[in-house]
Amino acid sequence: MNYDDFLELVTRRRSTRRFKPDPIPDEYVDKIIEAARWSPSGANVQPWEFVIIKDKVTKDKIYEFISEMNPINRKVELTRPAELQHHGSHGASGGRPGYMEAPVFIIACSDLRKMEGYPLSTFLIKGRHNHISAMASAFLYMHLAATSLGLGSQWISATNYVLTQARIRGLLGIPEELEIYDTMAVGYPALQPGPRLVREREGMMHRERFDPSRFGTDEQVRQFIATVIGRVER
């Protein structure tokens, strides 16, 4: 693959908000996990485990656990300035989220015991940070793999909440040594996202030393956040 092909894949990867209920081949799921298997991790400890969910009853139960947190999440969100509020996060506005139509959920879990594989100074100072970076890398590989297969995917962070995670752990028999990182919904997209808003490359690059003229003011940062939140992009 040359750079142009790679960049085309990266720019094509988008969060899918609506899915077709059509099943996807098991081999596609295997390929997504195979990509994650090669992602980087600190000291190559490879902390990931993946639970594949296709059963509708199980997926509905997971959403039940997620939706129980919606009233609390909404109350918390209302404490923020109006322009920074996520009005529809996790179905908080009352609607059933589009990711529930996805035929497959992939729940990524991290094995906290693997943190002991880091150099001691790293383990003591930033062990969990390295662990999160490893899981994020694996998750990104999974999303890119899904895109390369013509699939859509959505990053579902709500399964990481403490109460939600505890209930999912009990439902699926996930050992206490594992922490749910996040969940990926994957399937054929029913709706193609519009153009994505991304920052200009030169505005984020600082050559040789930091250029303060490219450092956004507090107001500029807030305006940017309000804009991207309003467009609900990822």
Average pLDDT for consecutive 10-residue bins of the chain (234 residues)? Answer: 95 94 97 98 96 98 94 90 72 73 98 91 81 95 98 95 95 97 97 87 95 94 88 58
Q: What angle do CA 45, 47, 49 make, to 5 degrees?
A: 145
Q: What is d(CA 89, CA 92) in angstroms, rounded to the nearest whole number? A: 6
CA 27, CA 44: separation in Å to the nearest integer? 26
pLDDT value at position 234? Answer: 59
Of the candidate CATH numbers 3.40.47.10, 3.40.109.10, 3.40.50.720, 3.40.50.300, the domain formed by 12-192 belongs to 3.40.109.10
> What pLDDT score was predicted for residue 14?
92
Q: What is the reported pLDDT for 122?
A: 80
* CA–CA separation, 150 and 146 (whole Å): 7
Its pTM stands at: 0.91
Please state at what angle helix 26-37 crosses helix 120-148, rounded to 10 degrees: 150
In three-state secondary structure terms, 218 is helix
Instruction: Give, rounded to a whole angstrom, the gap between the first and last alpha carbons of the chain.
Output: 25
Q: Which two tokens stand for residue 143?
A: 């999303």
For 188, half-sphere exposure in the C-beta direction (CA atoms, 13 angstrom radius) is 7
Instruction: Give the Cα separation of 74 and 88 in Å (integer).
Output: 9
The predicted pLDDT at position 162 comes to 93
pLDDT of residue 126: 77
Residue 129 token pair: 């940070």
* Identity at 138, one-letter amino acid code: A
Query: If DSSP codes are grouped into helix, strand and coil, which group holds residue 48?
Result: strand
Q: What does the pLDDT read at residue 135?
A: 96
Q: Which pLDDT score is estimated for 231?
A: 62
Quote the tokens at residue 98: 């589009």
- What pLDDT does residue 233 have? 55
CB 146 within 8 A of CB 32: yes
